[in-house]
Amino acid sequence: MPEKRRPPQTPPLRVVLNLQQRLRESDIPSAVGGSGLLASLGLIDRVNDWDLCVDAEPATVHALIEELGLSFSRRSRSGIFRTEALFTVDAADHQIDVLVGFALASPSGTVTIPARVSHRWRGLEMAQPEDWRRAYRLMGRQDRAQLLEDYLQAVR
Protein backbone atom coordinates (compact mmCIF):
# COMPACT_ATOMS: atom_id res chain seq x y z
CA MET A 1 0.00 0.00 0.00
CA PRO A 2 1.53 3.39 -1.00
CA GLU A 3 2.37 5.83 1.77
CA LYS A 4 -0.20 8.60 2.04
CA ARG A 5 1.42 12.03 1.85
CA ARG A 6 0.36 14.71 4.26
CA PRO A 7 -0.79 17.94 2.66
CA PRO A 8 1.94 20.60 2.59
CA GLN A 9 2.09 23.14 5.38
CA THR A 10 1.45 26.63 4.08
CA PRO A 11 0.98 30.11 5.44
CA PRO A 12 -2.62 31.26 5.67
CA LEU A 13 -4.26 31.91 2.32
CA ARG A 14 -6.63 34.79 3.08
CA VAL A 15 -4.35 37.73 2.21
CA VAL A 16 -2.72 36.21 -0.88
CA LEU A 17 -6.12 35.05 -2.17
CA ASN A 18 -7.58 38.53 -1.69
CA LEU A 19 -4.59 40.15 -3.34
CA GLN A 20 -4.69 37.81 -6.33
CA GLN A 21 -8.47 38.24 -6.65
CA ARG A 22 -8.09 42.04 -6.71
CA LEU A 23 -5.36 41.77 -9.36
CA ARG A 24 -7.61 39.50 -11.46
CA GLU A 25 -10.50 42.00 -11.15
CA SER A 26 -8.13 44.66 -12.51
CA ASP A 27 -7.11 42.40 -15.44
CA ILE A 28 -3.56 42.19 -14.08
CA PRO A 29 -1.84 38.83 -14.65
CA SER A 30 -0.44 37.18 -11.54
CA ALA A 31 0.81 33.72 -10.63
CA VAL A 32 2.21 32.18 -7.45
CA GLY A 33 5.68 30.72 -7.92
CA GLY A 34 8.52 29.70 -5.62
CA SER A 35 7.89 27.19 -2.87
CA GLY A 36 4.12 27.60 -3.26
CA LEU A 37 4.38 26.27 -6.80
CA LEU A 38 6.57 23.38 -5.67
CA ALA A 39 4.07 22.48 -2.93
CA SER A 40 1.15 22.66 -5.36
CA LEU A 41 2.89 20.01 -7.47
CA GLY A 42 3.54 17.78 -4.45
CA LEU A 43 7.31 18.34 -4.60
CA ILE A 44 7.88 19.87 -1.14
CA ASP A 45 6.09 19.72 2.21
CA ARG A 46 6.42 23.28 3.52
CA VAL A 47 5.83 26.82 2.24
CA ASN A 48 7.15 29.66 4.43
CA ASP A 49 5.88 32.59 2.38
CA TRP A 50 4.14 33.36 -0.89
CA ASP A 51 5.90 34.61 -4.03
CA LEU A 52 3.38 36.35 -6.25
CA CYS A 53 4.61 37.32 -9.72
CA VAL A 54 2.72 40.18 -11.33
CA ASP A 55 2.94 41.63 -14.85
CA ALA A 56 1.93 45.29 -14.55
CA GLU A 57 3.33 48.74 -13.95
CA PRO A 58 4.83 49.05 -10.46
CA ALA A 59 2.78 52.18 -9.70
CA THR A 60 -0.44 50.30 -10.51
CA VAL A 61 0.45 47.43 -8.19
CA HIS A 62 1.59 49.85 -5.46
CA ALA A 63 -1.78 51.64 -5.62
CA LEU A 64 -3.70 48.36 -5.55
CA ILE A 65 -1.86 47.13 -2.45
CA GLU A 66 -2.53 50.47 -0.74
CA GLU A 67 -6.20 50.30 -1.77
CA LEU A 68 -6.46 46.93 0.00
CA GLY A 69 -5.08 48.52 3.17
CA LEU A 70 -2.17 46.09 3.40
CA SER A 71 1.00 46.93 5.29
CA PHE A 72 3.98 46.64 2.95
CA SER A 73 7.43 47.89 2.11
CA ARG A 74 9.26 48.30 -1.17
CA ARG A 75 12.63 46.59 -1.34
CA SER A 76 15.57 47.48 -3.56
CA ARG A 77 17.10 45.28 -6.21
CA SER A 78 20.01 43.16 -5.12
CA GLY A 79 22.27 40.50 -6.54
CA ILE A 80 21.04 38.97 -9.77
CA PHE A 81 17.46 40.21 -9.36
CA ARG A 82 16.33 42.66 -12.05
CA THR A 83 12.68 42.72 -10.98
CA GLU A 84 11.00 46.07 -11.72
CA ALA A 85 9.60 46.32 -8.18
CA LEU A 86 9.48 44.11 -5.11
CA PHE A 87 6.79 44.81 -2.54
CA THR A 88 6.87 42.78 0.65
CA VAL A 89 3.40 42.56 2.18
CA ASP A 90 3.20 41.93 5.91
CA ALA A 91 0.48 39.32 6.38
CA ALA A 92 0.93 39.11 10.18
CA ASP A 93 2.48 35.66 10.55
CA HIS A 94 4.11 35.49 7.10
CA GLN A 95 5.15 37.61 4.13
CA ILE A 96 4.00 37.86 0.55
CA ASP A 97 6.67 38.94 -1.91
CA VAL A 98 4.97 40.69 -4.81
CA LEU A 99 7.45 40.52 -7.68
CA VAL A 100 6.41 43.05 -10.32
CA GLY A 101 8.05 42.30 -13.65
CA PHE A 102 10.07 39.42 -12.18
CA ALA A 103 13.44 39.23 -13.94
CA LEU A 104 16.91 37.85 -13.32
CA ALA A 105 20.36 38.58 -14.71
CA SER A 106 21.98 35.92 -16.84
CA PRO A 107 25.25 35.77 -18.77
CA SER A 108 23.31 36.65 -21.94
CA GLY A 109 21.32 39.52 -20.40
CA THR A 110 18.17 40.02 -18.38
CA VAL A 111 15.66 37.16 -18.40
CA THR A 112 12.03 38.00 -17.64
CA ILE A 113 9.95 35.37 -15.86
CA PRO A 114 6.33 36.05 -16.88
CA ALA A 115 3.27 35.64 -14.67
CA ARG A 116 1.78 32.76 -16.66
CA VAL A 117 -0.75 30.48 -15.00
CA SER A 118 -0.54 26.70 -15.26
CA HIS A 119 -3.18 25.52 -12.77
CA ARG A 120 -5.24 26.43 -9.71
CA TRP A 121 -4.42 25.14 -6.25
CA ARG A 122 -6.29 26.01 -3.06
CA GLY A 123 -7.92 28.86 -4.98
CA LEU A 124 -4.59 30.34 -6.12
CA GLU A 125 -3.45 30.67 -9.72
CA MET A 126 -0.07 28.97 -9.89
CA ALA A 127 2.87 29.73 -12.18
CA GLN A 128 4.20 27.61 -15.03
CA PRO A 129 6.70 24.99 -13.78
CA GLU A 130 8.89 25.61 -16.86
CA ASP A 131 9.22 29.30 -15.97
CA TRP A 132 10.27 28.58 -12.40
CA ARG A 133 12.66 25.83 -13.45
CA ARG A 134 14.44 28.52 -15.47
CA ALA A 135 14.26 31.04 -12.61
CA TYR A 136 15.70 28.59 -10.10
CA ARG A 137 18.56 27.74 -12.47
CA LEU A 138 19.39 31.42 -12.86
CA MET A 139 19.25 31.87 -9.07
CA GLY A 140 21.68 28.96 -8.60
CA ARG A 141 19.00 26.91 -6.82
CA GLN A 142 19.84 23.72 -8.69
CA ASP A 143 18.04 21.48 -6.18
CA ARG A 144 14.74 23.22 -6.83
CA ALA A 145 15.34 23.43 -10.57
CA GLN A 146 15.95 19.67 -10.59
CA LEU A 147 12.70 18.99 -8.71
CA LEU A 148 10.85 20.83 -11.44
CA GLU A 149 12.86 19.16 -14.21
CA ASP A 150 12.01 15.72 -12.79
CA TYR A 151 8.35 16.70 -12.47
CA LEU A 152 8.20 17.95 -16.05
CA GLN A 153 9.87 14.79 -17.35
CA ALA A 154 7.35 12.64 -15.46
CA VAL A 155 4.28 14.45 -16.86
CA ARG A 156 5.45 14.49 -20.48
Range of the domain at 144: 14-150
Query: Is 126 domain-assigned?
Result: yes
Domain of 21, CATH number, reads 3.30.460.40
One digit per residue, the tens of pLDDT, for the chain of length 156 reads: 455 678 889 999 999 999 999 999 999 999 999 999 999 999 999 999 999 999 999 999 999 999 999 999 999 888 899 999 999 999 999 999 999 999 999 999 999 999 999 999 999 999 999 999 999 999 999 999 999 999 999 998
pLDDT in tens, 29-45: 999 999 999 999 999 99
The per-residue b/e assignment along 67-76, b for 16 or more CB within 10 angstroms, e otherwise, is eeebebeeee
In a domain, 133, yes or no: yes
Query: pTM for the complete prediction?
Result: 0.94
